[in-house]
Amino acid sequence: MRYFESKEKTAELLRLAVPLMAGQTAGFHPISYTVWYEHLAKINPALQGALEARLADKTPLSEQETYELFSKYIVTRDADITERLEAQLMQVLANVRESAVKLGHQAAQYNDSLTRHEERLQQQIDVPSLGELIAALVGETTRMRSSAQTLQEEMGATTAEVGRLREQLEKAQGQALVDALTELHNRRAFEQALAQMLTSAAESASACSLLMVDIDNFKRVNDTYGHVFGDKVIRYVAQRISLSIKGRDVAARYGGEEFAILLPETTVQGALVLAEQIRASVARGKIHRGGATEQIAGVTVSIGVAESLPADSVEDLTRRADEALYRSKEAGRNRVMSAVSARPQ
């Protein structure tokens, strides 16, 4: 979604949004601000209605409810934009096809007419009849040229329109699948990629793996240093993950402080190696807070690893990776654990 409010208008929206956000239990993060921004700007009627109905009970919005509002009324709205642009593009192509078919019929009729005129010329014909034939031929040729010129003009306009729609479509598709804070894939994109990965793995009888990554003690980080620094921690971990993966691997922000990493054609042994690299990379880093002189260390992640089984659904593989992540937390955090189930040999 691209916003078109002026700088002065957005400053006023920020001033109004901050006290509203302060009255909720959700943090001061981009997801929460986007919900309140679109509500106050009155650019998302569906969100506005749902939010006003929810606030009627006078209880603060929770973190989970904020993410649900964002997912239902903002992410889904952007997906609807994509579908609408696709429909517009299909209509443009249908119009071009209709024009081309129409011209094709006219060309066929023109060809038939030329054939008839040629047959007449092969017979004895008087001067007046010859004049009539020439006049008819000129008229039909003029109409054909006009139709061809009209189609050419339509094709030029259509080319420009298709280019514009394609640009908007690519932008909308990208925005609908990207997490605003980390610029990783969002949960919607993750679920699509995971479904595709499992289908490919089943067709090729190969293994694939899923990593679920969670920032340890993240609530304590927020409570100690504030939500602005909390967002910085999330971006830092996202960066560590991005630098660790390669090729067809897919990293996504699953929600809050949790991430998911898809590893096509990777066994649990290979996935454990990568998971340990990510864990160590995060643990040894330091994050600047405020001025460049203050650094915060001790940010760690716990990781759960699961390898796909032949009949796995998206829910099956995600559940096993989540269970492995939970065991990592239970075992003391800052560690990697794999799911109990193993792929049959």
- Number of helices followed by number of strands (H, E) in the chain: 11, 7
Task: Clarify whether 154 is annotated catalytic.
Answer: no
Instruction: Give the closest residue to 39 by CA, choosing from 7, 77, 8.
Output: 77
Of 5, 153, 257, 276, the catalytic one is: 257
Intra-chain end-to-end CA distance of the chain, in Å: 47
How much of the chain is helix, strand and coil, in % rounded to 5?
A: 65, 10, 25
Contacts 24+ apart (CB under 8 A), 163-170: 165/85, 165/88, 165/89, 165/92, 166/89, 168/85, 169/82, 169/85, 169/86, 169/89
The DSSP secondary structure of 46-110, one letter per residue, reads: HHHHHHHHHHTT--PPPHHHHHHHHIIIIIHHHHHHHHHHHHHHHHHHHHHHHHHHHHHHHHHHH
Instruction: Give the closest residue to 249 by CA, choosing from 210, 200, 204.
Output: 210
- In the 8-state DSSP scheme, what is residue 184? S
Active site (catalytic) residues: 257
